[in-house]
Structure 1
Amino acid sequence: MSTAVKTCKLRQVISLLVSGVGTAIIFSGCSANGFWSSAQKWETYRNPRYGFEFPYPSHWTSLASPDNNDGVTFVALQNQNTVIRAWAAKELPELQNPETLKQIDHNFETVQGLSGLMVIEVNPQITSMKLTITQGQVKYYWQGQTNSKEFKDHYRLFYYIATQYKIR
């Protein structure tokens, strides 16, 4: 094996270790300090166009909804960088490739029993938790995001809301 190939493989192993350790550090402190209490008051957002719903903290503010009524964005009063977004869209039949759909693993299930794909994207500034659920020709998206340094404080809150996501 050439030196260049060995160096490349070593870099891949180091990269995997660093990203794994970084992710473990983020999740080791997922406590939702200050955001999770039995006194938390909840509201429920219901989308009239696509029929999805989910709870959100009652003290969060809703931004203006798009004219087509496909979704919503809520912002935490304490931090304008902490947001929850949800929307849905119909897929065009020609964009649905059966081979691609077979490759998608469903790693998450809501309380309602909906299977979806949950992905956590960790970046230096912003970290997000994204849930995608496909039902027929409609894709449903839910996302919670905040500053990466504060994600550990919001993880349980975001996870709880994602588990409560429903489609009527």
Structure 2
Amino acid sequence: MARRHDSIIVTFVYKTGLAIQRMRTNQTVKPYRSVTDPRAARLSALASLLASLVLLTSCRTSEMPLAGTWKTYHNPRYNFEFPYPSSWTAEPPPDNQDGQAFRDPKNPQAEIRGWAGHQVKPITTKQAQQQTAPVPSSKANFTTAQGLSGALNVNIGPEISSMTLALQQGDIRYHWQARSPSQQFDDYYRFFYYIAQQYRVPPPSQQP
């Protein structure tokens, strides 16, 4: 009888892991049928508990650097800044100095980068007369520690997944992006989210 119970538990663990894997690869998972048998209900509850444990253990925080191991990148042209791990390597900046990227030396496909640029659109006299108030942004879903609202988007791809932040301050558009292999994105997610929160831009009076 004990072997039978162990077999049932192993089957549930396997199905739970398979369901989680399918969710990660954006595949449809068929819902389980309702359970009426009390013993089956207990096993179903056990399966849910095991699924929660699997999810918790998969969201590791080992990728978070320890205190005191951070550096701050400061852009010399647009004066924005964000933290990055001191162990990460800096990529050569572009000639226009609009930003820079940093890579994880242990995982070169994992990187963070920030950049900015002016968003100047010509406005005719008639358009200027009609524009009595700034158009509110409907895409803002994120607030940085600095208190600036922006749009934070997460894209889960088959191979590479990314987190992208866009902020608008005056006529300058600020961007930040983090990416990693999709199979490791859950390991980096909290780490990326923290850096996005710490992204800072200069006040309008100090913009270039």
- Shorter-chain TM-score category? 0.7 to 0.9
Quote the RMSD (CA, aligned, Å).
Answer: 2.8
Choose the corresponding residue for 1:57, options 82, 85, 92.
85
Where in structure 2 are the equivalents of 1:5-154 lying within 5 Å?
19=26, 31-39=59-67, 41-94=69-122, 102=136, 104-154=138-188
- In structure 2, how many angstroms separate the alpha carbons of the residues matched to 1:75 and 1:64? 11
The amino acid that maps onto 2:63 is F
Structure 2 residue matching 1:80: 3-state secondary structure:
strand
TM-score of the superposed pair, with normalisation by structure 2: 0.63
Q: Deviations over 1:15-51 (max 9, x none)?
A: xxx95979xxxxx567344211534610000001001
Question: Which digits, 9 at most, give the CA deviation of each residue in 1:98-119, with x for residues without a partner?
Answer: 8xx5453210001000110000
1: distance between equivalents of 2:86 and 2:28? 35
- Name 1:13's counterpart in structure 2: none
Partner amino acid, structure 2, of 1:140? Y
Change (3 A) 1:21 1:127: farther
Q: Per-residue displacement from partner, 1:88-135 (whole Å, max 9, x unpaired)?
A: 01112139x98xx54532100010001100000111000000000011
CA contact (8 A) 2:113 2:178 kept: yes
Give TM-score, length-normalised by structure 1.
0.77
> Residue deviations 1:136-163, cap 9 Å, x none?
1111000000000000000011000000
* Matching residue of 2:7: none
| More moved, 114-123 vs 37-46 | 37-46
**1:69-106 C-alpha deviation (Å, 9 max, x unpaired):** 000000001111000011001112139x98xx545321
CA distance in 2, matches of 1:78, 1:162: 21
Checking the alignment, whether the CA contact within 8 Å between 2:65 and 2:85 is kept in structure 1 is no
Larger Rg: 2
Aligned sequence identity (%) = 41
On the 8 A contact 1:40/1:57 being kept in 2, the answer is no
Higher relative contact order (CA 8 A, sep 6+): 1
- Quote the Cα distance in structure 2 between the aligned partners of 1:81 and 1:48: 26
